[in-house]
Chain A
């Protein structure tokens, strides 16, 4: 009897996992199905059915030769520059945001001087600054990366500063007692204890970077990119391509967020386990 129960466990776990995945995707599947049926009934040229969009995506970007990982020249010419600019912009935001944030968080004086300035800069909607950037930077990639940085840096910077300010007093006292070097204090205590806040900021920054990536490609001076492709398609009334861009952005956002969550889970494994033990 008990053997039978024990024997059933792995099977039940497998089924549980399967229904878990099913539950997660079933709503999406139903929504897509409704979308397909609705657009087929409506027959509006502005709303192509998802099957048309997917086949458009395939032919536009993923029907290339195997030597190019099946990417077409359209894909390497537009998707890669977009992703490249976003990666550069986000990386620069992380480096500058974490660096400045730590400085701001660990120095009362710096915080007092700079916090009002940063709070002010943070609430300016980045798109409104586009004209300024167009004047300040060279049109094209330089200006586009600058707009991404200017929007993505704030959540990381302010979250890092907040986290660095609230490092446990006793941990810092311990560091003083054992006379840890300032490098050790930074890398062994302050940075690790700020990590959860940095990741919280990073999640916001990631979606801002994606938005600004597309937005900056709609501005004058853009010659490639997903946003450029979409505005170009719009001017040619090529609705399926426009929709393909929209769907692609959705998938990109989802994938990037999933990647970030995986990285976060790895980086904060110790933090989360420690907190779980603490609360019991």
Chain B
């Protein structure tokens, strides 16, 4: 459903992406991992239509992306700035649905349904800043779910929450993706990329390009303890780790 051909993007002083080729099939969950500064976020913003790539083509369901596509949602890392503090949790989730021509009660019902799916039905009438960081990120996941996009992009979505919350949110993503939604998840966490993904794409350090495209051979039912002790998991994370680390200059902190 998503094709990226010869994508390149240059900023004034450096090349962020060069000759990126990638194809994603409907219903796949693809992790994109790479050292910091490898252009992961630039790639994601190009797909979202937020920046125009200097070179190459991105097509979504056969249509070239020139502006923000209609059926796409993004979960940003910085939930506290992405949610609107003056709207309640429910109104935050319902806001993007206004354009879809549904009545107010339908929008509110859809918002409540999405909040239920992320386990936050009780917080509907609270304001985002009354919730913990993990809960706020759940709200922005609920907002994306309620929008029912064909493609969901996640930009380091769990980068600013604690380890326990991070695991909960990873499981949440695995749980909610079952409705055939295609998900692209950008992360710098090697374990996470393997645990959540059907496929792991490793990007080179700048200029970013696809260094490896690995299928994850883990059963689709995963859990934080037993999946992580499977030999396939251990092997896979070592392989991804070597690839990511191999690209980094010696002594670099990841």
A residues in contact (CB < 8 Å) with B: 168, 170-171, 173-174, 176-181, 184, 188-189, 192-193, 270-271, 273-274, 277-278
Contact = CB atoms under 8 A, between A and B. Distances in A.
A274 B129 contact: yes
Nearest to B91: A188
Interface string B73-97: 1101010111011110000000110
Contact of B68 (A179, A270, A273, A277): A179
B98 interface: yes
A174 B140 CA distance: 10
A251 B57 CA distance: 67
A180 B68 CA distance: 11
Given A170-B78, A177-B50, A270 B95 contact: no
A177 B98 contact: no
Contacts of A177: 48, 50, 68, 72-74
B14 interface: no
A178 B95 contact: yes
B36 to A, nearest CB: 19
Nearest to B48: A177
Nearest to B98: A184
B229 interface: no
Given A178-B147, A277-B129, A270 B81 contact: no
A168 B81 contact: yes
Contacts of A278: 80, 129
28 contacts: A168-B81, A170-B76, A170-B81, A170-B82, A171-B84, A173-B74, A173-B76, A173-B82, A174-B74, A174-B76, A176-B50, A177-B50, A177-B73, A178-B99, A179-B96, A180-B96, A181-B98, A188-B87, A192-B84, A193-B86, A270-B85, A270-B127, A271-B85, A271-B86, A273-B127, A274-B85, A274-B127, A274-B129
A196 B95 CA distance: 22
A174 B49 CA distance: 12
A188 B84 contact: yes
Contacts, number: 67
B70 interface: yes
A180 B99 contact: yes
B50, B78, B86, B143 — most chain A CB neighbours (10 Å): B86
Contacts of B68: 176-177, 179
A170 B41 CA distance: 13
Interface string B142-186: 010001000000000000000000000000000000000000000
A173 B85 CA distance: 16
Contacts of A274: 85, 127-129
A277 B95 CA distance: 23
A203 to B, nearest CB: 20
A168 B84 CA distance: 10
A174 B85 contact: no
A48 to B, nearest CB: 51
Contact of B70 (A176, A179, A189): A179
Nearest to B72: A177
A179 B99 contact: yes
Contacts of A181: 98-99
Contacts of B80: 278
A147 to B, nearest CB: 35
A271 B143 CA distance: 21
B129 A273 contact: yes
Contact of B73 (A178, A180, A271, A277): A178
Interface in B9-51: 48-50
Nearest to A189: B84
A82 to B, nearest CB: 36
Contacts of A270: 85-86, 127, 129
**7 nearest interchain CB pairs?**
A178-B96, A274-B85, A274-B129, A170-B81, A277-B129, A192-B86, A270-B86
Given A174-B76, A176-B68, A270-B86, A188 B129 contact: no
A177 B140 CA distance: 13
A91 B32 CA distance: 54
B87 to A, nearest CB: 7
Contacts of B147: 178
A175 to B, nearest CB: 9
A174 B153 CA distance: 12
B54 to A, nearest CB: 20
